[in-house]
Amino acid sequence: MLDTSVWSGRISLGGDWVEASGGATYTVVEPATGESLGQVGKASPDDVRRAAQHATEAQRSWAATPHSERAAVLRRAGDLWHAHAEEVMGWNVREVGAVPGMAGFSLDVAAAECFEAAALPSYAAGKVLATDQPRLSISQRVPAGVVGVISPFNVPLILSIRAVAPALALGNAVILKPDPRSAVTGGVTIVRIFEEAGLPAGVLQLLPGGAEVGEALTTDPDVRVIAFTGSTPAGRKVGEAAGRHLKRAHLELGGNSAFLVLEDADVDQAVNLAAWGAFFHQGQICMTVGRHLVHDSLYDAYVEKLAAKADQLPVGNPATDDVALGPIIDEAQRDKIHALVTGSQQAGARLVAGGTYDGLFYRPTVLADSPVDAPAYAEEVFGPVASVVRFSDLDEAVKLATAGDYGLSLGIVTRDAMRGLELAARIPSGIVHVNDQTVNDEANAPFGGLGVSGTGSRHGGAEANIDAFTETRWITLRSEPPTFPF
């Protein structure tokens, strides 16, 4: 399926794999080794214009395709992920540095997203409204038209497919712009799967590119909805540009999620959850536990056990070795992580594990006694760094957890789940897990954040996806035209 002779050095435009205008390409680099894995086409803003025109054309006939046929395409796509598991996972491991478990999870979610989306074409598309007139009054959901999907490097398959699949299912055409560092996993695989599933030509197009291509997509007059996943600063720009052009932007942005360990928690269980939440996928997940808030009575044991666990985790090339953590995506990200760690030490945090790297392999790191203004505690790190802070009562825990502007995910560990839920009610967050860590994803659950973590729109589940990717139309029908005073 991923035979490079089909797509190497090309973009997907108007139903064909073609050279980008200008013929430019990106080299796909394996972060674990620095080796070149191949080439993808490098789209330009001109390609966005051409893709939007093709998409407008293709969308009309796709929306008019019987719902059962649209659903069948989504179901076939769902089946094909596992049929091509080895190839897709192999690319995810090498291109992104994901450990095989993460690549397998991404594959499962990709399939689940397609199966969930397969139920959308036949979902009730409207409501009959009360009316004071002798008429039938209906609200109807209609496709938004052309949807632009912009996705980041970190979990490229899930973060692209979670918007692509429901948008297609609801009768839209999609232009996908993945991050160039992960354009095979987050782009080529998806287009190839839908080609094999029988999606008509031009309904899904692929434009790997940088910010300038994302900007062109956001401002193109034929693109009506943008589904953006990425950093808060880039999300602000996308939101501003979309607002100027009077189009909707669904913004899924950064996080610095809090993980609260109450005094009745089992410290070993809490540490196991914390290590996964902080270090899984090298901490390059929007929901990663950023702030570990631990009750005084467990604090010392928690720090000691988390540091011991961090010291034991193997870090290395996930394509060749059995490791818990793979590489950071590139040097710029690694240097940003390291600057936040050293800046936190200078601010007074105590380094108890990690804080070192070899190439792009960053050791899982624990910073204890973090001052609340230490940068690795106060900002999103996007790396395997756990900052731990103590609290003595629930009011103090709430004050710590609610500080800062992010509001993506929240984890609370306590033997009294009801108390955990009551505590969660005091802490604004788009996602809450009582007795679990913060990193969770299911295709049927409405995923999204509050504050600077997003605009409050959601991906996941029929209701959220219909809100995201359709417009509402009011329709009335009468047997006889009404009469008016003049």
Number of residues that bind ligand NAD (CB under 6 A): 30
Q: Does 153 bind ligand NAD (CB under 6 A)?
A: yes
| Gap between the Cα atoms of 341 and 377, Å rounded | 9
In the complex, least distance from residue 327 CB atom to ligand NAD, rounded to whole angstroms: 15
CA atoms within 13 A of residue 266's CA, in its CB half-sphere: 7
Residue 159 touching ligand NAD (CB under 6 A): yes
Structure tokens at 443: 């295709």
3-state SS track over 298-309 = HHHHHHHHHHHH
Q: Quick check: 255 and 395 in contact, CB under 8 A?
A: no
Catalytic residue among 19, 252, 263, 463: 252
- Could you give the CA distance from residue 220 to residue 211 in angstroms, rounded to a whole number? 14
Site for ligand NAD in 406-465 (CB under 6 A): 408, 449, 453-454
Q: What is the CA radius of gyration of the chain?
A: 24
Residue number with CB closer to ligand NAD (219 or 414):
219
Compute the residue count for the chain: 486
- Chosen residue from 148, 214, 326, 420 binding ligand NAD by CB under 6 A: 214
Active site residue 252: yes
**Of residues 38, 230, 407, 420, which one binds ligand NAD by CB under 6 A?**
230
Considering only the C-alpha atoms of the chain, give the largest distance between any 2 of them, rounded to a whole number of Å.
Answer: 84
Torsion sign across C-alpha atoms 107, 111, 114, 117: negative
Question: Residue 99 Cβ, how far from ligand NAD at the closest point, in Å?
Answer: 17
Residue closer to ligand NAD (CB basis): 438 or 470:
438
The helix/strand/coil state of 145 is: coil
Minimum CB distance to ligand NAD, residue 322 (Å):
26
Q: What are phi and psi of 105, to 5 degrees?
A: -60, -45
In the region spanning residues 166 to 185, those forming contacts with ligand NAD, defined by CB under 6 A, are: 177, 179
**Among positions 49, 67, 75, 237, the unique one binding ligand NAD when judged by CB under 6 A:** 237
User: Which of 218, 257, 387, 429 is the binder for ligand NAD (CB under 6 A)?
Assistant: 218
Does position 380 bind ligand NAD by CB under 6 A? yes
Phi (first) and psi of residue 15, to 5 degrees = 95, 0
The residue with its CB nearest to ligand NAD is 214
Q: Is 211 in the site for ligand NAD (CB under 6 A)?
A: yes
Name which of 229, 192, 227, 226 is nearest 40 in CA terms. 192
The CA distance from 310 to 368, in Å, is 13
Buried b (16+ CB within 10 A) or exposed e, 264-289: ebebeebbebbbbbbbbbbbbbbbbb
Find out whether 284 and 329 touch, Cβ atoms under 8 Å: yes
Query: What is d(CA 285, CA 290) in angstroms, rounded to the nearest whole number?
Result: 10
Q: Is 282 in the site for ligand NAD (CB under 6 A)?
A: no
Question: Which one of the spans 83-91, 150-158, 365-373, 462-470 is the region binding ligand NAD (CB under 6 A)?
Answer: 150-158
Residues 465, 469, 472, 475: is their CA dihedral positive or negative? Answer: negative
Please, what is the minimum distance in Å from the beta carbon of residue 71 to ligand NAD? 26
* Rounded Cα distance, 111 and 178, in Å: 19
Q: Which of 95, 113, 114, 286 is the catalytic position?
A: 286
Nearer CB in complex with ligand NAD: 229/365: 229
CB of 150 to ligand NAD, least distance (A): 5
Residue 319 CB, shortest distance to ligand NAD, in Å, is 22
114 flagged as catalytic: no
The distance of closest approach from Cβ of residue 223 to ligand NAD in the complex, given in angstroms and rounded to an integer, is 12
Distance, CA of 259 to CA of 257 (rounded, Å): 7
Query: In this chain, which of 51, 103, 234, 360 binds ligand NAD, going by CB under 6 A?
Result: 234
User: Segment contacting ligand NAD (CB under 6 A): 56-64, 230-238, 358-366, 478-486?
Assistant: 230-238
The answer to whether 210 contacts ligand NAD (rule: CB under 6 A) is yes
| Interacting residues with ligand NAD (CB under 6 A) | 150-154, 159, 177, 179, 210-211, 214-215, 218, 229-231, 234, 237-238, 252-255, 286, 380, 382, 408, 449, 453-454
The residues assigned a catalytic role are 252, 286
